[in-house]
Amino acid sequence: MSKYSGRTLVKGNEEHSVCPVIASDVGLSFWGGIDEKTGIVIDHSHPLYGQSVAGSILCLPSGRGSCTASQVMLELILNGKAPKALILRDRDGLVSVGALVAQAIFPDSDVLDIIQIENYQALLEQKPSFGRVLNHGSLIFGESVEEIEEAFEPNPKDTADPTKGGDLVLTDEEQEMMDACQTEAERRALECIIKYAYIVSDSPKYIDVGKAHIDGCTYIGPGGLAFAERLVQEGGKVKVPTTLNSVSTDLRNWKNLGIEATESQQSSMKLAEAYVALGCSERSFTCAPYLLENPPELDEQIVWGESNAVVFANSILGARTEKYADYLDICCAIVGKVPEVGVHIKEKRQPKILLDVSAIDFSTDDSASFSLLFPVLGHLCGTLSDGEVPLLVGLERYSKDITSDHLKDFCAAFGTTAASPLIHVAGVTPEVTDEMIASCKKKYTVDVLELEETYKLLDQHNALDTDEEGSIDWISLGNPHLSLSECEKLLEKIQSLPSPQKKKAEVEVIACMSRELYDKSPAVPALRDFGISFVNDTCWCMLLQPPMIPTNPEATILTNSGKYAHYGPGLTERKFRLASMAECVDAAVTGKLSRRSTHPWSKQTRSYSTFAKRHDRTSHCCSKTSPRNSIHTELARRLLIGFKK
Cite the active site residues: 66
Give the Cα separation of 137 and 402 in Å (integer): 48
| E strand intervals along 513-591 | 532-535, 556-559, 575-578
Residue type (1 letter), 447 = D
Give the DSSP letter of residue 164: G
| E strand intervals along 454-582 | 469-471, 474-477, 508-512, 532-535, 556-559, 575-578
What is the pairing mode between strands 57-60 and 19-23? parallel
Report the Cα 375 to chain-centroid distance in Å.
14
Give the Cα separation of 223 and 221 in Å (integer): 6
The sign of the torsion formed by the CA atoms of 460, 461, 465, 467 equals negative
End-to-end CA distance of the chain: 37
* 21 to 50, 73, 131, 139, 464: CA distances (angstroms): 15, 18, 6, 12, 35
Helix (H, G, I), strand (E, B) or coil at 387: coil
- With a CB cutoff of 8 Å and minimum separation 6, the contacts of 394 are 356, 357, 358, 359, 360, 426, 446
Measured torsion, CA atoms of residues 395, 398, 400, 405, in degrees rounded to the nearest 10 = -70
Half-sphere exposure for 190 (CA within 13 Å, toward CB): 25
Give the DSSP letter of residue 245: -
Contact yes or no for 109/81 (Cβ under 8 A): no
Measured torsion, CA atoms of residues 535, 539, 542, 548, in degrees rounded to the nearest 10 = 30
Give the Cα separation of 458 and 454 in Å (integer): 6
Give the DSSP letter of residue 313: I
Give the Cα separation of 351 and 432 in Å (integer): 9
Give backbone dihedrals phi and psi of 131, rounded to 5 degrees, phi first: -155, 170
Report the Cα 341 to chain-centroid distance in Å.
20
Give the DSSP letter of residue 596: P
Give the Cα separation of 455 and 550 in Å (integer): 23
Give backbone dihedrals phi and psi of 3, rounded to 5 degrees, phi first: -120, 140
Helix (H, G, I), strand (E, B) or coil at 303: strand
Of 525, 560, 297, 272, nearest in space to 405 by CA: 560
Give the DSSP letter of residue 50: T
Contact yes or no for 90/121 (Cβ under 8 A): no
Of 211, 199, 627, nearest in space to 388 by CA: 627
Contact yes or no for 161/199 (Cβ under 8 A): no
Helix (H, G, I), strand (E, B) or coil at 558: strand
Cα-based angle 427, 432, 437 (whole degrees, multiple of 5): 100
